[in-house]
Amino acid sequence: MNLPDSSRIGRKFPLGFFPTPLHALQNLTEKYPGYKLYMKRDDHTGLATGGNKTRKLEYLVQEALDQGCDTLVTAGAQQSNHCRQAAAASVQARLECHLLLRGSKPETVNGNLLLSTLMGAHTHYCGEDIEEEDVRQVMDDLRRRGRKPYYTPIGGSTLTGSLGYVDAMKELKEQMTGQKLPIDTIFFASSSGGTQAGMLLGKAVHGIDARLMPVNIDKSGVSTHGSLEDAVLVIANEGAEAMGLSKHFTPEDVKLVDGYGDAGYGVVTEKDRSIIWELASTEGIFLDPVYTARAFYAMTDMLKTGQIKPGANVLFWHTGGTTANFHYYNELSGR
C-alpha cells in the first residue's frame, strides 16, 4: 500500500542525529502529582548544538541543492536559532549563507549570532522589520555576483520545512511503541508555525492520538503576515493536498495556547527566568528564554490549575535554543 508520506513530496539532506532521546522527567514528575512528565530532546539534534530547525533544514537544504542553488538566504532575529542552524547546514552542504537580521549591527556579537559568525555566515542588518524589499535586494545582489540563491523565510516555515516534523511524529510513534508509552498531550513552542503544521500533518499521516498544545510564545494575534493560526492552517492544508491525505484542517485544529507570551518576542521576564531556573535545578536541563521557557511555563501552569486530564502522560517537546541563554545573561542572572 502506498501510504501518504513526506518522502513522496520531499527529499532529505542528512544534518542531524536521529532519533532524538525521549525520556522521563523523574524529579519534575514528583513536583506535579497526578501526571507523568516526559521530554523529547530536539535540543539534541546535533547540528551546531541542535534545535527544531535541523529537521526543517534537512528538507530545505536538499530542495536548494535539487534546484541547483549554491547559496542559502534566510532571515530572523539577531539571536535566531534558525539562522544559527541554517549557517551550520550551509557549511555542511557547502552553500554560501546569507542572513537577513532585524535591527542594526550590534556592538558585541554573542550567543547565536556569535556562532553564526564563526561559521562564516554573511549578515545583513535590515532595521526594525525585514521587508520583502530587503530580501529582493540581497537576492538580486547575489544573482548579479553570479550566485544562485535559495530563499527560505523566517523559521524555515514552508511546507518543505514542515516535512521535518511530519517525520518527527513518525519517530515519536516508534518511540511510544518501543517504550510502551502512550503520550496523551504534547506541549511545545510555536512561533513561525512550521513545527506545528508538521506535527499536525504527522499526527494525521502516522495515526497518533496525542493532543497538541502549541504555545504561542508571542503576543496573541501578532504577525506581520496574518495570524500564526492562519499560517499553520495554510501549510497544513497545502501538505494534506500534496501528500494525498483525505483531510481538510479547520481553524479548530490549529488553535494556539494563548496568554503566555504577552511580554512579547524576546523580552525576558521574571517568569521566563524562574522557569529556566526550575527545570535546570530539578533536572539539569536548560530551556531557552525566548521559546521553550514560555511553553514550559504554560505546561506547568496548566498542570497546576488542573486543565490537563489527571493521570495523563504529558510530553514536553524541547525545540532547542539553549545557546540564546548566553546572550540574555544579564536578565537570567537576576541582575
Give the footprint of ligand PLP on this chain (CB under 6 A). 51-52, 81-82, 155, 157, 189-196, 288, 291-292, 319-321
Question: What DSSP string runs through 183-218?
Answer: --EEEEEESSSHHHHHHHHHHHHHT--PEEEEEE-S
DSSP class of residue 119 equals T
Smallest gap from residue 84 Cβ to ligand PLP (A): 9
Smallest gap from residue 246 Cβ to ligand PLP (A): 25
**Interatomic CA distance for residues 259 and 15, integer angstroms:** 35
**Given phi > 0 = left and psi -120 to 50 = alpha, else beta, which region is 226?**
left
Smallest gap from residue 291 Cβ to ligand PLP (A): 3
When CB distances to ligand PLP are compared, the closest residue is 321
DSSP SS3 for 149: strand
Task: Pick between residue 102 and residue 142 the one whose CB is nearest to ligand PLP.
Answer: 102
Task: Pick between residue 74 and residue 192 the one whose CB is nearest to ligand PLP.
Answer: 192
Task: Pick between residue 123 and residue 195 the one whose CB is nearest to ligand PLP.
Answer: 195
**Interatomic CA distance for residues 122 and 116, integer angstroms:** 9
Task: Pick between residue 15 and residue 142 the one whose CB is nearest to ligand PLP.
Answer: 15
The secondary element (H helix, E strand) that includes residue 307 is none
Locate 226 and state its grid cell: 496574518
Task: Pick between residue 160 and residue 190 the one whose CB is nearest to ligand PLP.
Answer: 190
Is-contact 53 329, C-beta < 8 A?
no
CA distance from start to end of the chain: 60
Task: Pick between residue 59 and residue 291 the one whose CB is nearest to ligand PLP.
Answer: 291
Pick the closest to residue 228 from 241, 239, 215 (CA basis).
215
Residue 274 annotated among the catalytic residues of the structure: no
**Interatomic CA distance for residues 37 and 182, integer angstroms:** 12
Smallest gap from residue 155 Cβ to ligand PLP (A): 3
Point out the catalytic residue in the list 6, 80, 90, 192: 80
Look at the block and give the residue holding cell 549563507.
97
Look at the block and give the residue holding cell 500534496.
242
Smallest gap from residue 323 Cβ to ligand PLP (A): 9
Smallest gap from residue 311 Cβ to ligand PLP (A): 28
Give catalytic residues, as residue numbers: 80
